[in-house]
């Protein structure tokens, strides 16, 4: 990207944020509509402990002609009160248990809810395909002055009305409360309540003690996801010295097929999923774009849904994180010298590693060490490609679009399903400007 194009890009982002000019009302607390258990602590499993980051998402509703956003905020507030009866820990606050772990204090005080008005039309927001914290952050409520996650409620909601009659729902949810699938079930349940349902199609299964650690803990795998890797490539200086540029790259079905063909070309793999092929490609391309030293170790982390892999499987509607991190490690020079099939094969191995015993071992590893996964010289891929957030019809039709406000860490790449039939995948990432130029060139070759 030339200096001029970059300047225009920055100016466009700034003008979009200014154009929206969102005015928020005072937040109110929405407690559960009926009495719920209070005065106790709600147990969070070891799989919940390490991902206590706030995830911000925005859903945009165009609204049927003639109806507009009239009554939307009231309807969503009333339905939130009703769904919190089923999901009552979300009305509590995070605390620390006697074992010095995160827990939920069941206070029943409620979720902060904010109404807001934007000075523009929904169309001015764009298509949400690229994270844009300055603009999209205005559509989500963050508690002012909160210094850490203990001072942030598990969930906040903001309904923003647009001049065109459309509205958006912005959510800030703590990942320790649920993973992507759990969050989707919660939002869809909330939407069901707003449409007048008396019962939930998928009631939440609340008891997270099914994932308690074994006593004594049994660590049967090396769990290299926690390994600290030395930065011998000057990455800290590169990230510190340049602006982080966010971009999205769309892979339509034809392009995804080309990526899979690349992964199968070497003859190393008999078969390979789209996720494995795309992850291998992106890991390799990012390694090249960042100019990692040939001897630099690099780690790939990604979450695997363990719900069906546990023995017995987690109950339907499990409320909590059912995902487990798995990993692959390579030396940068070897990764780049080998074809894409080698990287895709390593991803495949990492998926295969996730058995019931591996996941129980990961739970026990945290119990014994309290270690946090290290993101040094690491790429963390998170995938929302299978999450059907389009089911979130609160009575104003399905969302015209939905997406993340920002990526939680600079090491994160997000795969987001795209298009009407969700057959395409948007790859969202942030890189230092020079590395983004190099990454784009590599993507343009496919």
| Cβ count within 10 A of residue 47 | 23
- Cα 61 from chain centroid (whole Å): 21
Distance CA 344, CA 300 (A): 11
Place of tokens 């999209």: 136
DSSP 316-336: TTB-S--EEEEEEEEEHHHHH
d(CA 385, CA 162): 28
CA atoms of 225 and 230, how far apart (whole Å): 14
Q: Which of 175, 179, 223, 418 is catalytic?
A: 175
Q: What strands lie across the sheet with 378-383, from one edge to the other? A: 244-251, 424-432, 412-418, 378-383, 297-305, 323-331
Exposure on the CB side of residue 373, measured as CA atoms within 13 A: 28
Query: Percent helix, strand and coil across the chain, each rounded to 5?
Result: 35, 20, 40
Cα–Cα distance for residue pair 301/323, rounded to 1 Å: 12
Phi, psi of 92 (to 5 degrees): -95, -160
> Catalytic annotation on 175?
yes
Catalytic residue (one of 117, 231, 268, 393):
393
Distance, CA of 358 to CA of 364 (rounded, Å) = 10
326 burial (CB, 10 Å; 0-12 / 13-18 / 19+) is buried
Distance (Å, whole) CA 336 – CA 339:
7
Rounded CA gap, 96 and 8, in Å? 47
Which residues does the annotation mark as catalytic? 175, 393
């Amino acid at each position: 990207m030339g200096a001029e194009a970059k300047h225009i890009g920055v100016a466009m982002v700034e003008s979009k944020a200014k154009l929206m000019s969102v005015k928020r009302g005072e937040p109110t607390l929405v407690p559960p509509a009926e009495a719920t258990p209070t005065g106790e602590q709600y147990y969070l499993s070891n799989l919940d402990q390490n991902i206590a980051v706030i995830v911000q998402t925005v859903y945009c509703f165009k609204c049927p002609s003639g109806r507009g956003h009239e009554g939307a905020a009231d309807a969503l507030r009333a339905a939130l009160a009703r769904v919190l009866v089923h999901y009552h820990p979300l009305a509590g606050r995070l605390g620390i248990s006697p074992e010095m772990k995160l827990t939920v204090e069941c206070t029943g005080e409620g979720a902060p809810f904010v109404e807001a008005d934007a000075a523009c039309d929904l169309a001015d927001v764009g298509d949400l395909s690229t994270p844009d914290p300055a603009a999209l952050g205005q559509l989500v409520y963050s508690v002012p002055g909160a210094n850490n996650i203990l001072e942030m409620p598990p969930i906040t909601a903001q309904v923003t009305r647009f001049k065109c009659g459309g509205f958006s729902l912005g959510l800030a949810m703590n990942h320790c409360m649920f993973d992507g699938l759990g969050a989707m079930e919660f939002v869809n349940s909330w939407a069901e309540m707003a449409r007048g349902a008396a019962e939930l199609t998928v009631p939440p299964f609340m008891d997270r003690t099914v994932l308690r650690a074994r006593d004594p803990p049994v660590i049967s795998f090396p769990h290299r996801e926690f390994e600290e890797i030395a930065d011998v490539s000057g990455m800290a200086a590169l990230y510190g010295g340049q602006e982080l540029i966010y971009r999205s790259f769309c892979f339509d079905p034809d392009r995804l097929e080309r990526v899979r063909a690349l992964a199968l070309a070497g003859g190393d793999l008999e078969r390979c999923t789209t996720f494995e092929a795309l992850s291998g490609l992106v890991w390799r391309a990012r390694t090249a774009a960042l100019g990692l030293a040939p001897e630099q170790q690099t780690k790939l982390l990604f979450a695997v849904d363990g719900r069906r892999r546990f023995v017995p499987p987690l109950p339907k509607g499990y409320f909590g994180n059912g995902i487990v991190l798995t990993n692959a490690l390579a030396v940068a020079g070897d990764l780049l010298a080998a074809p894409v099939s080698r990287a895709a094969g390593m991803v495949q191995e990492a998926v295969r590693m996730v058995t019931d015993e591996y996941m129980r071992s990961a739970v026990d590893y945290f119990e014994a060490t309290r270690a946090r996964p290290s993101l040094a010289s690491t790429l963390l891929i998170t995938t929302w490609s299978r999450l059907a957030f389009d089911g979130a019809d609160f009575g104003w039709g399905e969302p015209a679009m939905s997406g993340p406000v920002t990526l939680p860490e600079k090491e994160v790449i997000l795969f987001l399903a795209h298009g009407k039939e969700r057959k395409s995948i948007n790859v969202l990432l942030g890189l230092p400007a020079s590395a983004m130029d190099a990454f784009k060139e590599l993507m343009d070759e496919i």
